[in-house]
Amino acid sequence: MMNKFFFLVVSLALFVFGRSQNVEFEKANFPGKKDEFKDAVHKLDVGTDYYIQGRKEFDEQRKRFLIENKYFPVSHHDHYKAGYELFRNALAPLSDAYKFNPSNAELNYMLGFIWFNSDPSNKETLKYFEAADKLKVKKESDISFWLAWTYQLNSEWDRALKYYNEYLELISVKARANVAFIDDVKKKISECEAGKRLSANPERVFVDNLGPGINTSFPEYGPSISTDETTIFFTSRRPNSVGGKRDLNDNGFFEDIYSSEKSGGRWQLAKQLSKNVNTDVHDAAAGLSPDGSKLYVYRASTTDGGDLYESVLFGLDWEEPVRMNRNINTKYHESTVSLTFDGKRMFFVSNKETGLGASDIYYSDIDVNGEWGVAKNMGPEINTKYAEDGVFMHPDGVTLYFSSKGHGSMGGYDVFKSTLDKNGKWSAPVNLGYPINGPDDDVFFVVSGSGNRAYFASAKQGGFGEQDIYKITFLGPEKQPLLNGQDQLIAAMSTAMISLKTQSEVEVKSAKLTILKGLVNDGLSLKPLESTIELIDNDKGVLVATFRSNSSTGKYLVTLPSGKNYGIAVKCQGYLFHTENINIPEGTDFQEFNLDISLKKMEVGSTIILRNIFYDVDKSTIRPESQTELNRVVKFLKDYPNVKIELSSHTDDVGAEDYNMRLSFERSNAVVDFLISKGISPSRLIPKGYGETIPIDKNDTEPGRQNNRRTEIKILSK
């Protein structure tokens, strides 16, 4: 019995040992398989030739990124297209050779490398590299590096650290080891340590694929959204691209820009933008203005690294993009654009030589002529010696999102957030954490106006294709349950489990801004009107921004960061101007209002409510924040010198009727006095006080009473 047991153990050990040994492609190892061996060796030779050529291209580009272009730490997407076509030609013959002899270390290494080049997180990559490592591949001394990187890209942090440290020890003893390669490995070790720490404390979010209306089996990336989250633009490389041709550099179809509208809470089937924007070369979505009226386009160039263009929405179609000026575009590579809510500052990315790292974030301010001024580097608070990309300035005016390989990334680019304080200083960037960030590149992250959702592109497993666009919903801090003593003891003894799909979705209104949107139309015909919309800071008496409503739809969207008293003036040729007052206290959470604005034609009997004229309480003294509105009335009367107006004031029903009548007249008189002081003839101005006699709203609520307290203009003659 003992002998049988011993024989079984020895046989099993020999079987396992035999299976873990490297088997060379030699005749003696395959007796009785002459023809099969000959065919396998032929395919091995063919595949190896392709592999060697592809590997040469790959290694040259990797060296160029690491040393010449300062791109370390190199991420997978920095160079995985190098040698792509050659590796693809090598795959089939090498796979056939593998079927004949799966125990050859060198063959497993080559197949692992080819799979890494196309899809490093694929199980095939890991299978081949692990086999090559176990079979003790001799010629390739860097197997531990590629195995470590594969483990990192699969979020197996401890295994990755083991092999990175093993490889670091190996190359550090070499007298002629290149410093850049050593630094790359050290950086990847720090990435794994960050990944291990961040993934141990995941953020409470939902991560959802946007589905087949947006994503296909081809790459989708570079999302841009309007502030109200009703329109999305993105880049895709599909067979129906304009021209339908492939880029010979990577065999992918040329990029085109697509868009989708949200209806009923769902994104509709994406449509390709017109040939005004998409051409037969690369056209990529680089950014969108907060109101959705300006689209920024990246186009590759044969003379430089690629440039940025601006296209304006005119009616229902986009105009042909116009190349941006020399303060933005250089002979280097410029990409990704984001504007502040007022459109006066642009952030963009460039890899010009004056930067701190491989690519940096810059900003440019618009000058008095409406042109973009000299670009300035954002400095070491934001930029690192590594690469930054995918900049997005939130419409709240203070929160900047961007991707970086520095600042404690867990692999490739991670998304970070920095906020601007009242002194104009940016806070230290904060990693948005796992699962928003992962071990591969996470770039092009944009956030809705509400701040509770974000959109980004990722090559996550289970998607529709190489890269898909995903939506992130932020859930906020988890509510802590009240536990009795026994429950607390049990909780302390157990390990908390965090599921990304078990909590109910919670609305997190983190942004401090208000969205005002609607339609501008003719008050009688309801025909959509293209109008100019001025946004004024009433307290400072300055013009914050100017917007336009769409000429075909009349749609407009204005973003209002919290903490200001805003005046809004809507103007259109042949119509009376229209004003609104929106006072948003400091710290007010996100809110969205729909306000359709009907303009009245310049006719006798037409009225304007002057919503931005303010008086001291129970007095006729005009407050300073009324200045802009009053000056607007002066300009109107000077533009139309024959117009005669009645200027009337009204009150709510609080207080005695005769008191309200007198107060309203005194207020009208105060406005008339101001207009006269600015050169308007008294004969054109008739002051009236109506007290509480002509309400336009109920007096039983404070908003209603506020609406009734107003000053108006009525056209008497023209």
Q: What is the pLDDT of residues 633-665, one digit of tens each?
A: 999 999 999 999 999 999 999 999 999 999 999
Q: If you average pLDDT over residues 132-161, what whole number do you get?
A: 91
- Give the domain extent around 58: 23-199
Whether residue 189 is predicted with pLDDT greater than 60 in this model: the reply is yes
The burial class, CB within 10 Å (0-12 / 13-18 / 19+), for 234 is: buried
Same domain, 295 and 430: yes
Whether the Cβ atoms of residue 58 and residue 79 lie closer than 8 Å to each other: yes
Whether the Cβ atoms of residue 72 and residue 357 lie closer than 8 Å to each other: no
Share of the chain above pLDDT 70, in %: 89
Partners of 650 in beta bridges: 691, 710
Whether residue 70 is predicted with pLDDT greater than 60 in this model: the reply is no
Closest alpha carbon to 546 in 562, 555, 558: 558
Cα of 493 vs its chain's centroid, Å:
41
Closest alpha carbon to 277 in 322, 243, 237: 322
Assigned token pair, 378: 């954002």
pLDDT band, very low/low/confident/very high, at 482 (cuts 50, 70, 90): very low
Q: If you average pLDDT over residues 619-639, what whole number do you get?
A: 96
Whether residue 85 is predicted with pLDDT greater than 90 in this model: the reply is no
pLDDT of residue 463: 84
CATH number of the domain residue 613 falls in: 3.30.1330.60
pLDDT band, very low/low/confident/very high, at 69 (cuts 50, 70, 90): low
In this structure, are strands 542-548 and 564-571 parallel, antiparallel, or unpaired? unpaired
Q: Alpha carbon of 572 to those of 28, 597, 715: distances in Å?
A: 90, 12, 17
Same domain, 617 and 709: yes
Question: Of 171, 199, 227, at which residue does a domain stop?
Answer: 199
**Residue 493 is assigned to a structural domain of this protein:** no
Which amino acid, 633?
V
Give the best-scoring range by mean pLDDT among 326-335, 468-477, 508-517: 326-335
Between residues 476 and 695, which one has the greater pLDDT?
695
CATH number of the domain residue 309 falls in: 2.120.10.30
Whether the Cβ atoms of residue 252 and residue 219 lie closer than 8 Å to each other: yes
**Residue 662 is assigned to a structural domain of this protein:** yes
pLDDT of residue 177: 61
Same domain, 429 and 474: yes
Partners of 379 in beta bridges: none
In this structure, are strands 271-272 and 294-299 parallel, antiparallel, or unpaired? unpaired
Assigned token pair, 266: 């769902």
Same domain, 615 and 591: no
Return the minimum-mean-pLDDT range out of 49-63, 399-413, 544-558, 663-677.
49-63
What are the residues whose beta carbons fall under 8 Å from the beta carbon of 57, sequence distance 6 or more?
Answer: 82, 83, 86
**Per-residue model confidence as pLDDT tens digits over 286-295:** 999 999 999 9
Phi first, then psi, for residue 650 (nearest 5°) are -140, 155
Whether residue 75 is predicted with pLDDT greater than 60 in this model: the reply is no
CATH number of the domain residue 522 falls in: 2.60.40.2190
pLDDT band, very low/low/confident/very high, at 244 (cuts 50, 70, 90): confident
**Per-residue model confidence as pLDDT tens digits over 26-43:** 999 999 999 999 999 999
Assigned token pair, 499: 């599921």
Same domain, 639 and 590: no
pLDDT of residue 178: 75
**Pairwise CA distance, residues 596 & 599, whole Å:** 10
Whether the Cβ atoms of residue 319 and residue 312 lie closer than 8 Å to each other: yes
pLDDT of residue 238: 94
**Per-residue model confidence as pLDDT tens digits over 561-609:** 999 999 999 999 999 999 999 999 999 999 999 999 999 999 999 999 9
**Residue 711 is assigned to a structural domain of this protein:** yes
Same domain, 572 and 629: no
pLDDT of residue 269: 96
pLDDT of residue 641: 95
Which amino acid, 140?
E
pLDDT of residue 112: 95
Which amino acid, 536?
I
**Per-residue model confidence as pLDDT tens digits over 686-710:** 999 999 999 999 999 999 999 999 9
Q: If you average pLDDT over residues 417-440, what whole number do you get?
A: 93
Q: If you average pLDDT over residues 662-687, what whole number do you get?
A: 97
Triad 198, 204, 206: Cα angle to 5°: 115
**Pairwise CA distance, residues 417 & 410, whole Å:** 15
**Residue 224 is assigned to a structural domain of this protein:** yes
**Pairwise CA distance, residues 108 & 93, whole Å:** 13
Whether residue 465 is predicted with pLDDT greater than 50 in this model: the reply is yes
Whether residue 486 is predicted with pLDDT greater than 60 in this model: the reply is no
Mean pLDDT (the chain) is 88
Whether residue 668 is predicted with pLDDT greater than 50 in this model: the reply is yes
Strands (DSSP E) found in 595-650: 597-599, 607-609, 644-650
Question: Of 599, 614, 629, at which residue does a domain stop?
Answer: 599
Same domain, 595 and 606: no
Same domain, 474 and 375: yes
**Residue 504 is assigned to a structural domain of this protein:** no
pLDDT of residue 72: 46
Cα of 475 vs its chain's centroid, Å:
19
CATH number of the domain residue 79 falls in: 1.25.40.10
Tally of CB atoms within 10 A around 107: 29
Q: If you average pLDDT over residues 17-27, what whole number do you get?
A: 77
* One-letter-per-residue 3-state SS of 188-231: HHHHHHHHHHHHCCCCCEEEEECCCCCCCCCCEEEEEECCCCCE
Same domain, 355 and 386: yes
Q: If you average pLDDT over residues 388-405, what whole number do you get?
A: 95
**Pairwise CA distance, residues 556 & 514, whole Å:** 14
pLDDT of residue 7: 38
pLDDT of residue 140: 72
Q: If you average pLDDT over residues 384-407, what whole number do you get?
A: 95
* Dihedral class, residue 265 (left if φ above 0, else alpha if ψ from -120 to 50, else beta): left
Whether residue 122 is predicted with pLDDT greater than 90 in this model: the reply is no
Q: If you average pLDDT over residues 84-108, what whole number do you get?
A: 94
pLDDT band, very low/low/confident/very high, at 68 (cuts 50, 70, 90): low
**Residue 1 is assigned to a structural domain of this protein:** no
**Residue 499 is assigned to a structural domain of this protein:** no
What are the residues whose beta carbons fall under 8 Å from the beta carbon of 353, sequence distance 6 or more?
Answer: 332
Same domain, 321 and 454: yes
Share of the chain above pLDDT 90, in %: 76
pLDDT band, very low/low/confident/very high, at 6 (cuts 50, 70, 90): very low
Question: Of 199, 228, 245, at which residue does a domain stop?
Answer: 199
**Residue 583 is assigned to a structural domain of this protein:** yes
Same domain, 589 and 677: no
In this structure, are strands 685-691 and 644-650 parallel, antiparallel, or unpaired? parallel
Q: Helix or strand or coil: residue 402? A: strand
**pTM to 2 decimal places:** 0.86
Same domain, 77 and 224: no
Total of domains in the chain:
4
pLDDT of residue 494: 34
